[in-house]
Amino acid sequence: MHLNKQLFCLALAVLLASCNLKNTHSKYDNEENTSTGTGKTAPKKNNPPKLAGAVAPIIGERISGNAVIYNNPNGDPIVSLLDYIPLRCAPVKKDWYPVSLDFDITKEEFTKPLFRKGQKIKVNGVAAGVLQRDMKLPVSTNGEKMWATINGYTEKKSIRNGSIIESALTSYLKQHAGRSTDDLQPFIHSFKLEEETTLKPYVLYFNYESGIDDPSPLYRLALIFQGKQLIGVLHARPLQLDGSTTRRLQRGFTVSYLNGIDKTLKEDFAGKFNKFILSVD
C-alpha cells in the first residue's frame, strides 16, 4: 500500500508538471485560504499532514508568467505580478477572471493601510510584484500574520490551467483508471480538499468557492464517494467528465455521475443533497 501511494504521488507530480505546474515553487507551501475584510481577524486552520513525495498543496489559482490585475476588464492596472503567485478566482466572465490577492503587510501598514505606486509586495515572504497605483486597501490578520487584499480582474490567459481544480480533475481522471478513495488521495491532498460526512452513507471531499462573489461561499467542487468508491462529482462551475451523466440540483449545483452508477443511488444522493443544501444559509 505504501508503494502504491508513492507511485500515485509520483504520477500526480508528472500530471501537474504537464499542466505547467512547477514543483520548484514550493516556497508558497504555507499559503492559507484566508478571508478578506477590513481590519478583521480570520480563524486559524489546522493544516493536514503532507504525503511523502507529494507536490505542494494548491490553494486558489496561480499566475502564469507575468500578469497584471486591473480595476476593471481592460481598465487601469492595480498591480503587476510575477509567475506562479497564488490568488483566488471567481468564475470567468468573457475571458476575464474576477480575482482577489492577499499580500504581506507590516504592523504599521495594518494600522494605516495606505499603499504607494511602485511599492514591491510579497506573498508569504516571497517577492510577488509591484503596485501600479496609490490606494487604500482592506487589511486582515489571523493572529500570526497580517495581509492586505487587492480585488480586481485579470485575463483568462494569465491563470495557469493546471491550477484550476476543474481542469486538473478532468486531466487526473483521464490519466488514472482507479476510482477508490486511495486512488484519489494524491489529488485530494494536492488541492487540500476537506472531508464532509454529513450526507451518510456518502463522503464528500470538497473545496469552497472563492468568496469573491459571495462572502458566505458554498461548495465549488466535491468528490462524492460511496463505499470508498467515487460515484460522481458535485460542482458549481462547468466541468467536463468523459462518460458522465449530469443532473441539476438545488442552488445552482450540478452533479456529474460516473458511468454505470445505479439510478437508485443517483436519486438517493440527489435527494439528500438537495435537502441539505436548502437548509444551509
Question: Across residues 77-93, what is the average pLDDT?
Answer: 97
- Whether 190 contacts 171, CB under 8 Å: no
Residue 176 lies in a domain: no
Number of domains in the chain: 2
- The confidence score (pLDDT) of residue 169 equals 98
Q: Which residues contact 133 (CB under 8 A, 6 or more apart)?
A: 76, 77, 78, 117
pLDDT in tens, 7-54: 444 444 434 444 443 333 433 333 333 233 444 444 333 333 333 233
- Whether 233 contacts 239, CB under 8 Å: yes
CA 178 to chain centre: 23
Cell 463522503 belongs to which residue? 203
- The confidence score (pLDDT) of residue 42 equals 43
Last residue of a domain, one of 137, 160, 183: 160
Amino acid letter, 236: A
DSSP 29: T
Cell 482592506 belongs to which residue? 138
pLDDT in tens, 224-278: 999 999 999 999 999 999 999 999 999 999 999 999 999 999 999 999 999 999 9
- The confidence score (pLDDT) of residue 171 equals 97
Residue 10 lies in a domain: no
d(CA 21, CA 84): 8
User: Residue 145 pLDDT > 80, yes or no?
Assistant: yes
- The confidence score (pLDDT) of residue 11 equals 46
User: Residue 91 pLDDT > 50, yes or no?
Assistant: yes
| Residue span of the structural domain in which 95 resides | 27-47+55-160
pTM of the model: 0.79
- The confidence score (pLDDT) of residue 59 equals 76
Residue 22 lies in a domain: no
For 273, the grid coordinates are: 443533497
Mean pLDDT across the chain: 85
Return the number of other C-beta atoms located less than 10 Å from residue 200's C-beta. 8
pLDDT-derived band at 214, boundaries 50, 70, 90: confident
Amino acid letter, 11: A
- Whether 177 contacts 78, CB under 8 Å: no
Last residue of a domain, one of 140, 160, 180: 160
- 74, 199: one domain: no
d(CA 178, CA 227): 14
- The confidence score (pLDDT) of residue 41 equals 44
pLDDT in tens, 155-191: 999 999 999 999 999 999 999 999 999 999 999 999 9
Residue 222 lies in a domain: yes
Residue 203 lies in a domain: yes
pLDDT-derived band at 3, boundaries 50, 70, 90: very low
Residue 171 lies in a domain: no
- 116, 222: one domain: no
- Whether 238 contacts 166, CB under 8 Å: yes
d(CA 101, CA 123): 9
- 149, 197: one domain: no
- Whether 172 contacts 8, CB under 8 Å: no
- 121, 207: one domain: no
- 131, 256: one domain: no
User: Residue 61 pLDDT > 90, yes or no?
Assistant: yes
DSSP 56: P
Residue 18 lies in a domain: no
Residue 1 lies in a domain: no
d(CA 115, CA 119): 7
- The confidence score (pLDDT) of residue 215 equals 85
pLDDT-derived band at 57, boundaries 50, 70, 90: low
205: helix, coil or strand? strand
- 78, 127: one domain: yes
